[in-house]
Amino acid sequence: MDKNKILEYTQLYKATLLENVIPFWTQNSPDWVNGGYYTCLDRTGKVFDTDKFVWLQGRQAWMFSFLYQEVDRKEEWLAISKLGIDFLEKYGSDSDGNYYFSLTQKGRPLIQPYNVFSDCFVAMAFARYGQIPGNESMGSKAIAIFQKILDRQANPKGIYNKVYPGTRPLKNFALPMILSNLCLEMEPLLDQGMVEEILDTCVQEVMVNFLDQDTMVMFENRTLDNGYSNSFEGRLLNPGHAIEAMWFMMDIAKRRGDQSLANRAVTIMLRQLEHGWDKEFGGIFYFLDHEGHPPQQLEWDQKLWWVHLETLVALVKGYHLTGETRCWEWFEKVHKYAWKNFHDPKQGEWFGYLNRRGEVLLDLKGGKWKGCFHVPRALYQVWRTLESEVDKKNF
């Protein structure tokens, strides 16, 4: 690996973030009339639906506060973040402080607060915005939401849970995974003892309880005593989820100076990637069944933007933290696939959904699940990690 190659990638990720992706969202997404953001944007950036999904409102408000703090104190970015923060504060939650799943253009509730990740991404947004001087009150709100999330851990769906109690209780990977990242995001606002305790729990859940120690396969659902459930849910693998969680683990490892955790995260990440890679058409499968049975998810063989972007982040961080050459080889392979298939050279931003062959399945740039989040966050993470690599190597 030579210096010029790294510098070339650094420049590509940085320029795409700042000159292509962020402008796409600043131009097309803010709803300056009603507040919040439109996220249902067609290939060209035109709004095709006006519903506002709380996950994506929170994630975009977070993204623009993050850019303001970490990249450049642009007033436009702060104003865009505030647009989402205010909208969420005004319309986002019910009287108990639980966040709805979706709202109309004008903020009226559409779908009830059944999904704890709405709360997670609102907390993430409020916490980041609250760290900007003058916004401290939003920090307190973030803490209150975070506490409610912790209280909901045992039954995140609450009254909307359709699982009959007791027959086959399973726990799901997504919440400990997201908490690993959210807890680091919220660290400046939290008591340090609490942070360490939550991180300990998250690392235990992610690195031990959801992982089969023999095969090194990461599962989406486990029994309450951390075992395998031979059922549709128990057999389900989501390679992108597992790989994304590994870069959250690497961030924890870096913060704690825990080289052993970093090494293990890299090993597990590469294992999921090798297993999840489509040897016939390239790209990473969305879902797999551990025993090779047909999964329930009809979209199992599709190639999703976030899976590939989070994999690029995990690979570059893995390389940076451990020097493992397979990380670099895989980075170049996934990079090539992603830029060839997801990146839209004509209309900017990235496609979200490809079929198994890598052809565009839906040409939207944003929708119910794709917003201003995975693309810019990953571009930022790759850019900055490669920059540190250049510094470290002292080229």
Pick the closer one to a copy of itself by CB: 25 or 331: 25
DSSP state of 16: I
Take residue 25 and report the two structure tokens written for it.
């969202």
Q: Residue 369 CB, nearest distance to a copy of itself (Å)? A: 9
Report residue 37: phi and psi, to 5°.
-130, 145
User: CA separation (Å) from 259 to 46, 145, 250, 317, 318?
Assistant: 46, 32, 9, 13, 11
Pick the closer one to a copy of itself by CB: 23 or 169: 169
End-to-end CA distance of the chain: 12
The residues binding a copy of itself (CB under 8 A) are 40, 42, 48-49, 51, 100-101, 104, 108-112, 114, 159-160, 162-164, 167-168, 231-232, 291, 293-296, 298-299, 301-302, 353, 355-356, 361-364, 367-368
Q: Residue 41 CB, nearest distance to a copy of itself (Å)? A: 10
Amino acid identity for residue 314 in this structure: A
DSSP 189-235: GS-HHHHHHHHHHHHHIIIIITEETTTTEEPSEEETTS----SHHHH
Q: Which residues of 289-314 are buried (b: 16+ CB within 10 A; e: fewer)?
A: bbeeeebeeeebbbbbbbbbbbbbbb
Pick the closer one to a copy of itself by CB: 154 or 298: 298
Q: Residue 229 CB, nearest distance to a copy of itself (Å)? A: 11
Q: Residue 154 CB, nearest distance to a copy of itself (Å)? A: 18
Q: Residue 75 CB, nearest distance to a copy of itself (Å)? A: 33
Residue with tokens 């459930």: 229
Burial of 39 (0-12, 13-18, 19+ CB in 10 A): buried
Residues 362, 239: Cα–Cα separation, whole Å? 21
Residue with tokens 């690029």: 312
Pick the closer one to a copy of itself by CB: 131 or 341: 341
Q: Are the C-beta atoms of residues 129 and 82 closer than 8 Å to each other?
A: yes
Q: Are the C-beta atoms of residues 141 and 130 closer than 8 Å to each other?
A: yes
Q: Residue 47 CB, nearest distance to a copy of itself (Å)? A: 10
Residues 158, 152: Cα–Cα separation, whole Å? 8
Pick the closer one to a copy of itself by CB: 3 or 168: 168
Pick the closer one to a copy of itself by CB: 195 or 362: 362
Pick the closer one to a copy of itself by CB: 232 or 339: 232
Pick the closer one to a copy of itself by CB: 318 or 366: 366
E strand or H helix that includes residue 18: none
Q: Residue 112 CB, nearest distance to a copy of itself (Å)? A: 5
Q: Residue 102 CB, nearest distance to a copy of itself (Å)? A: 9
Q: Residue 114 CB, nearest distance to a copy of itself (Å)? A: 5
Pick the closer one to a copy of itself by CB: 71 or 110: 110
Helix (H, G, I), strand (E, B) or coil at 377: helix
